[in-house]
Structure 1
Amino acid sequence: MDWLGDDIWLTWMAIGVVLSVVELASMELVFLMFGVGAFAAAVAAGVGAPLVVCLVVFGAVSAGMLSLARPPIVRRLHAGPSLPSGQHGLVGQIGVVDEPVSRDAGQITVRGQRWLARPLDPDAHFESGDEVLVVAIEGAIARVTASHAS
């Protein structure tokens, strides 16, 4: 082990940096936890701990980070509102009637896209130029109601 010399802390720092850089590619917060373990081992080596102690510190800190720190961090990162995308992102948007909307026919433009439209209430009818609220998407048909703005 003479090849490591007195600068083993530098080796642990380099391992920590490499693991942290690898984390940037994976984004799973696994390599980062091992990187923190390597930095802790670098501190241990810097105060003169033997290699065996550095290995134990690396293993213990890495395991602790993986089991105690990573789960709440991942939960927090993945928490928050999910944003509807695609056609379901149109629900709640205001559209403008292009062709009169009734139970049998009609088209609207919403977010620059033309959609077949039918009223949610089968007895409702909307004229060209009316603003409508998209309340559901059923296949290729937007279900609409009167907009509160109109």
Structure 2
Amino acid sequence: MDGFMNWLSDNGWAGWLGLGLLLAVAELMSLDLVLLMLAVGAFAGAGAAAFGAPFAVSALVASAVSLAMLLLARPSMIKRLHRGPDLATGTKALIGSSAVALTAVDAHQGQVKIGGETWSARSFDPAVTIEEGTRVSVFEIDGATAVVYPEE
């Protein structure tokens, strides 16, 4: 064991490199990007030790780089990973979809078929009556009523 400690004191970069690899592999299990930021710090400590810095200096470099990565790089990476299109569900998913008028649709009543389902409907423009069989688009869903307008 004494021989290993002597070797490690002469080759501190290998200890930091091993720690960095261990943290990087552990990151594959957590997927939280915290361990990856600590691994980058350990790799920076390995670089400092490879240039002959004493352990205290390489530990300071590893700590500073890890902290900087956690505070500066990780938040933007997390934001970028979580950014994406919003998923429309429920009645919001029906807005903009096409439908067919099953009955005449006016400002007060009517029925349309949206994606295989029959919905009560009313015309978006109170002055317009939509004839049966006309293709319409869903403007909004008001309670259980689809507000529609004719497609052109």
Same fold (TM over 0.5): yes
Counterpart residue identity of residue 117, structure 1: A
What TM-score results when the alignment is normalised by the length of structure 2?
A: 0.75
* Structure-2 separation of matches of 1:59 and 1:132: 62
What TM-score results when the alignment is normalised by the length of structure 1?
A: 0.75
Please state if 1:55 is matched with 2:59: yes
* Structure-2 separation of matches of 1:58 and 1:97: 67
How much does 1:40 deviate? Answer: 1.0
Unaligned runs of 5+ in 2: none
Matched-pair contact (CA < 8 Å) for 1:108–1:117: no
* Aligned residue in 2 for 1:2: 5
* Aligned residue in 2 for 1:82: 86
Show CA shifts across 1:36-83 (max 9, x none): 111111222223322222211111001111222223333444455534
Paired residue for 2:105, among 101, 106, 109? 101
* Structure-1 separation of matches of 2:25 and 2:145: 48
Unaligned runs of 5+ in 1: none
* Aligned residue in 2 for 1:35: 39
* Aligned residue in 2 for 1:16: 20
Q: Cα RMSD (Å) of the superposition? A: 2.8
SS state of the match for residue 82, structure 1? Answer: coil
* Structure-2 separation of matches of 1:3 and 1:86: 66
Change (3 A) 1:16 1:98: farther
* Aligned residue in 1 for 2:132: 128
* Structure-2 separation of matches of 1:18 and 1:140: 56
The sequence identity of aligned pairs, in percent, is: 41
Show CA shifts across 1:98-128 (max 9, x none): 3443322312223x44433222233433233
SS state of the match for residue 138, structure 2? Answer: strand
* Aligned residue in 1 for 2:48: 44
Change (3 A) 1:54 1:108: same
Which protein shows a greater Rg? Answer: 2
SS state of the match for residue 69, structure 1? Answer: helix
Change (3 A) 1:106 1:27: same
